[in-house]
Amino acid sequence: MSRAEETDPELVEELLGGKHRALARAITKIENRSPGYREIVSALHRHTGNAEVIGITGSPGAGKSTLVDKLARAYRDAGHTVGVIAVDPSSPFTGGAVLGDRIRMASNIGDMDVFFRSMSARGTLGGLSTATADAVKALDAFGKDKIIIETVGAGQNEVDIVRTADTVTVLVQPGSGDDVQMLKAGILEIGDVFVVNKADMDGAARTVSELEEMIHMREDPRANLNVGHHGADAFSGDDRGGEPHGSVGDSDSIGGSDADDEERGDGGWTPKVVETVATSGEGIDDLVGVLAEHRAYLERSGRLEAKARTRYAEEIRQLVRSDAAALLERELDRRGGVEALAEAVRERETDPYAVAAEIVGPLEACVEGDR
Amino acid sequence: MSRAEETDPELVEELLGGKHRALARAITKIENRSPGYREIVSALHRHTGNAEVIGITGSPGAGKSTLVDKLARAYRDAGHTVGVIAVDPSSPFTGGAVLGDRIRMASNIGDMDVFFRSMSARGTLGGLSTATADAVKALDAFGKDKIIIETVGAGQNEVDIVRTADTVTVLVQPGSGDDVQMLKAGILEIGDVFVVNKADMDGAARTVSELEEMIHMREDPRANLNVGHHGADAFSGDDRGGEPHGSVGDSDSIGGSDADDEERGDGGWTPKVVETVATSGEGIDDLVGVLAEHRAYLERSGRLEAKARTRYAEEIRQLVRSDAAALLERELDRRGGVEALAEAVRERETDPYAVAAEIVGPLEACVEGDR
């Protein structure tokens, strides 16, 4: 049987059997939402749950690619297998930089035990965080020990993507004004580990102490009393602060803030700041150590399970919503299309509430009758 | 029968009979999404279509309230009846400023033929543009000749709200940097009429010429060749520019850009710039004239009908989507709630795609069986 005729069960089998080409094809189907991708992800799900998933985010130029490269190499040297998903939500097409990354990654490591894959918004508009989560499942089921999700920390989309990871690592470039940008995006609030990369640059020590101060304020809201606007704003989400907050995103976001706040209680996790020079490899061992510490904390505290639950709840909501949207679009078409319905409304033959009742009503009746 | 026991058909009848208290109660029900509001809007719909709906947006401090006040008075003096809906999407509660507006409006005009009503996001979170459109219908069915929607021009929500109007008026304060803010919000792109208010201030002439230059670039994209970043960016949406654009919002936005672009072809509408000093009433007559010109253009060109169709299509989509979301939430609850389902996924008893299929599948089967 030629590759084109290969059925999905065989693809799943080959992936589980350790064939990298099957893994690559599965992720392509996932990225493009090709027919059969759901069955693949469904079939893979029960083989997942063994990988450590690490998210790495930061501004362009902060050195994410180099850091991910060195981190992957360190894991590989320690005998672990690694999968990397580099996600660029802003570009609808895979750009040159990512292509360059792919070449770099391949040449540096030289074996498929570091599997590198870039994903863009091309095939997956509007559902990039779902597609990322699905690709992570493919890598997890394949048997990768460490999975790294790399994305630019620029907005809510990116926050959603990086939150599909168990441990969120935020890269900060000294003196770059990154802190302000990331405060805006709500990224500092979700960081478990902060990496001041290019720690040999001027201003690195100041950036480290600023981050530590912010973490301190997050830990102890009484410290907020003496700080200016930025600090107070950024960490108003602290669970002991008393006030509800919404800066990370709406309540539908993966890993909702309420759950995250738990880990900041007594005996919780205090975010760590690590200094690295990714180009020389300096500090990478420290980072590996801190990531392992956070993982141990997650397992010990039960937070790993809680995070998974929150994540799966969000996956369910997203899928239900998008499936229902597709169904409704077909129903609108079946009734002549939304344009014709709008024209009937304009002619005062009907009205929008009557149309909505006509479309959603039968679904409700059907569900009620089912009971 | 006491007012509390009054049934909705009676409320509709009284509203259509010209009772302002019934109008006020209907809008309260619409704003709060109280039981029965749908039936009210449904019943009113076929009595709508006679009012001219004017949207007025601009930054805080640009003088919107004063301008709306003077405009309402001018219409009143010309023998028209007026309804005003002032919408503040940013504040969850009606603030002091709006209360002040209400008092001002009442004392200035002194009769109910200018009906003023403020709406906040309080009762209508997530559906403020739908609620605004519904309130406009109540005013239209009541028989108001001119309906003014007033909102702060700050973001996509506000753009959606002001686009429920047939004519969009954008207020700009001289030398305020408003232009840059509004470029960002995509508001300049949707303006049919620009008002430079406080035209007696320093810098007013410059603001007028900047606006005229921008309109010129929008009309003739060849002019873009010689301009800097802002101009080119703001009007990349021109239909003759060749490139697709997305700055106004997604394709679901009311009055999608494709439709709007039409009116900029030959014989279309070139946005006008009007100078006013709202506090003294200077320029208000000019504004009234330009608004009438735009209305005549809309009727003559068929754009009025096209806009209504686009708006109703969006209303239908919004209602179908929110009704379906409520139905799905109940279905998730019926299956034990999303938390329990997420836990089953975490335990690998099922997976998110299987759960989504379980929930949406029966709806699909039911709809198919119906055919």
**What secondary structure, in 3-state letters, does A276-293 show?**
CECCCCECHHHHHHHHHH
Determine, for residues A325 and B323 on separate chains, whether the beta-carbon distance falls below 8 Å.
no
Contact A229/B at CB under 8 A: no
pLDDT digits (tens, 9 = 90+) for B201-235: 888 998 898 888 888 877 765 544 433 333 333 33
Instruction: Give pLDDT, residue A155.
Output: 66
Q: How confident is the model at residue B130 (pLDDT cuts 50, 70, 90)?
A: confident
Q: Which of residues 298-337 of B touch A (CB under 8 A)?
A: 305, 308-313, 315-317, 319-321, 323-325, 327-328, 330-332, 334
Determine, for residues B323 and A41 on separate chains, whether the beta-carbon distance falls below 8 Å.
no
What Å distances lie between residue B171 and A184, B58, B276, CA to CA? Answer: 28, 5, 10
Worst-scoring range by mean pLDDT, B12-16, B40-44, B158-162, B344-348?
B158-162
Which residues lie below 8 Å from residue A75, measured CB to CB, with a gap of 6+? Answer: A82, A145, A146, A288
CB A320 within 8 A of CB B333: no
Choose between B344 and A210: higher pLDDT. Answer: B344
CB atoms within 10 A of CB B100: 11
- Per-residue pLDDT at A249 exceeds 90: no
Mean pLDDT for B251-280 is 64
Determine, for residues A360 and B327 on separate chains, whether the beta-carbon distance falls below 8 Å.
yes
Instruction: Give pLDDT, residue A177.
Output: 67
Which residues does chain A have within 8 Å of residue B141's beta carbon, measured at their own beta carbons? none
**Unique residue bearing structure tokens 């921008």:** B214
- Å between B265 CA and nearest CA of chain A: 23
Choose between B41 and A115: higher pLDDT. Answer: B41
- Å between A351 CA and nearest CA of chain B: 6
Choose between B237 and A181: higher pLDDT. Answer: A181
Q: How confident is the model at residue A334 (pLDDT cuts 50, 70, 90)?
A: very high
Give percent helix, percent strand, percent coil of chain A, each to the nearest 5: 55, 10, 30
What Å distances lie between residue B247 and B55, B188, B189, B224, CA to CA? Answer: 20, 11, 9, 17
Q: How confident is the model at residue B289 (pLDDT cuts 50, 70, 90)?
A: very high
- Per-residue pLDDT at A100 exceeds 50: no
Which chain A residue has the Cα nearest residue B304?
A346
Nearest to A353 among B42, B317, B367 (CB): B42
- Per-residue pLDDT at B30 exceeds 70: yes
Worst-scoring range by mean pLDDT, A124-138, A271-285, A343-357?
A124-138
- Per-residue pLDDT at A265 exceeds 50: no
Nearest to A327 among B315, B348, B363 (CB): B363
Mean pLDDT for B132-156 is 89
Structure tokens at A90: 């802003």
CB atoms within 10 A of CB B16: 16
Looking at 3.40.600.10, 3.20.20.60, 3.40.50.300, 3.40.50.10810, the CATH number of the domain B47-301 comes to 3.40.50.300
Separation CA B20–CA B359 (nearest Å): 46
Q: How confident is the model at residue B94 (pLDDT cuts 50, 70, 90)?
A: very low
Nearest to A355 among B316, B353, B362 (CB): B316
- Å between B368 CA and nearest CA of chain A: 10
Q: What is the mean pLDDT of chain B?
A: 78
Mean pLDDT for A243-265 is 38
The amino acid sitting at B26 is A
Map out the domains of chain B as residue ranges: 47-301, 335-369
Determine, for residues B41 and A353 on separate chains, whether the beta-carbon distance falls below 8 Å.
yes
The amino acid sitting at B154 is A
Which residues lie below 8 Å from residue A173, measured CB to CB, with a gap of 6+? Answer: A58, A59, A61, A62, A63, A196, A197, A198, A201, A207
- Per-residue pLDDT at A105 exceeds 60: no
Q: How confident is the model at residue B133 (pLDDT cuts 50, 70, 90)?
A: very high
- Per-residue pLDDT at B335 exceeds 80: yes
Choose between B218 and A182: higher pLDDT. Answer: B218
CB A88 within 8 A of CB A121: yes
pLDDT digits (tens, 9 = 90+) for A318-331: 899 889 988 999 99
Which residues does chain A have within 8 Å of residue B366's beta carbon, measured at their own beta carbons? 362-363, 366-367, 370
Which site among B332, B363, B366 would you substitute to test the A interface, given the most A Cβ atoms closer than 10 Å to its Cβ?
Answer: B363
Q: How confident is the model at residue A36 (pLDDT cuts 50, 70, 90)?
A: very high
- pTM, two decimals, is 0.71
- Per-residue pLDDT at B370 exceeds 90: no
Contact B246/A at CB under 8 A: no
Highest mean predicted confidence (pLDDT) among A42-51, A84-93, B84-93: A42-51
pLDDT digits (tens, 9 = 90+) for B66-93: 899 899 999 999 999 999 998 876 554 4
In chain A, what percentage of residues exceed pLDDT 70?
71
Instruction: Give pLDDT, residue B114.
Output: 77
Instruction: Give pLDDT, residue A283.
Output: 96
Mean pLDDT for B350-360 is 95
pLDDT digits (tens, 9 = 90+) for A286-315: 999 999 999 999 999 999 999 999 999 999
Instruction: Give pLDDT, residue A74.
Output: 94
Which residues does chain A have within 8 Å of residue B320's beta carbon, measured at their own beta carbons? 328, 332, 355-356, 359-360
Residue B118 phi, psi dihedral angles, 5° rounding: -100, 145
Which residues does chain B have within 8 Å of residue A338's beta carbon, measured at their own beta carbons? 313, 316-317
SS3 A345: helix
Q: Respond yes or no on whether ipTM tops 0.85.
A: no
Q: What is the CA radius of gyration of chain A?
A: 23
- Per-residue pLDDT at A241 exceeds 50: no
Determine, for residues A324 and B360 on separate chains, whether the beta-carbon distance falls below 8 Å.
yes
pLDDT digits (tens, 9 = 90+) for B32-52: 888 999 999 999 999 999 999
Which residues does chain A have within 8 Å of residue B362's beta carbon, measured at their own beta carbons? 366-367, 370
Q: With respect to CATH, is domain A48-301 assigned 3.40.50.300?
A: yes
Which residues does chain A have within 8 Å of residue B121's beta carbon, measured at their own beta carbons? none
Worst-scoring range by mean pLDDT, A168-182, B117-131, B201-215?
B117-131
